[in-house]
Amino acid sequence: MNDTSEYQVHLEDVVKHIKDLPTLPAVAMEMLQDLEDEDSSLDMITEKVAMDHSVSAKLLRLANSSYYGNNSKVVTLQQATAMLGVKNVKNLIRTTILSDKFPTSKCPAFDFRAFWRHSIGTAICAELISRALHMKHDFAFTAGLLHDIGKLVLVTGYPDNYNQVLDYKAANDCHLLEAERRIMHIDHVVAGLALAHQWRFSEAVCDAIRGHHDPEQENLHALASVVHVANAIVHALDLSAEENDMLPLLSQAAWDTLGLSETDYISIFRETEMRFDALDQIVL
């Protein structure tokens, strides 16, 4: 491999790029903040949804999808939110706001659709695992959705550099983290954390980003192990439909920490695939 110094990126440059990104629209920021409030009422959420045409349209499509088996057509936001429930509406809002945030970049080797398919699948799986463990579901979905967000920071900010990363990964049949560090001297975990801090996401979500490849670090929130295992499951289920996708290394410690049974996992696998099919058709 030739000298890669020309593709090296410093963390300071990444932080500056993040600060130069347009901030989330005020309505979107308000919606995301309100979603963390467990006392959010359906009426309040419906009012917020009505302020965003993209979310409104997708909400109605989801309510009328075959997954929910509704015989009569849902025509109003009130009907849709009442039928889907607070949790499903919140998850659709989060997914829509964040997937609309990053436009495709000039990096032909990066598959944006595969990226969002994997992110959505991991969000769903993390939520199902957290439910089985009686943890806070909303944090789990958000953490799963955002665990790889650093990839978007790097690919949208430095498309030529990231193209070299993907070329290196393909040529050397290695994990993406190794290729990022080799070419850019920075990885998507560090970039994701920088974005999470800039957008003021919760410490639990930050820990999930920090630990989704290495959940055995000290003092990490338990959500890191949940997202780590969910990430591995969704890679194994091949929900991204990405060519030459490589399974990440699975931490035995994280797997053991969750302590779920084989029956639990079989149910989680099946429900992840079913819920993913419904949401994937609406969002992407």
Report pLDDT digits (tens) over 67-120.
766 666 777 788 888 888 877 887 777 777 766 666 666 888 888 888 888 988
Q: Which domain holds residue 33?
A: 25-85
pLDDT band of residue 268 (cuts 50, 70, 90) is very high
Query: Per this entry, what is the length of the chain?
Result: 284
Same domain, 169 and 212: yes
What share of the chain has pLDDT > 90, as a percent?
38
pLDDT band of residue 57 (cuts 50, 70, 90) is confident
Same domain, 185 and 221: yes
Let me know if residue 91 belongs to a domain.
Answer: no
Same domain, 161 and 263: yes
Same domain, 19 and 30: no
Q: How many domains does the structure of the chain reveal?
A: 2
pLDDT of residue 37: 64
Let me know if residue 156 belongs to a domain.
Answer: yes
Domain C-terminal end among 61, 85, 109:
85
pLDDT of residue 88: 80
Q: What is the mean pLDDT of residues 231-237?
A: 94
Same domain, 107 and 208: yes
Same domain, 31 and 52: yes
CATH of the domain at 202: 1.10.3210.10
Amino acid at 118: H
Closest of 120, 125, 91, 119 to residue 258, by C-alpha: 125
Closest of 169, 165, 166, 118 to residue 146, by C-alpha: 118
Q: What is this structure's pTM?
A: 0.79
Q: How far apart are CA 4 and CA 10, in angstroms?
A: 13
Specify burial of residue 211 (Cβ count, 10 A radius: 0-12, 13-18, 19+).
Answer: buried
Same domain, 190 and 73: no
pLDDT of residue 252: 94
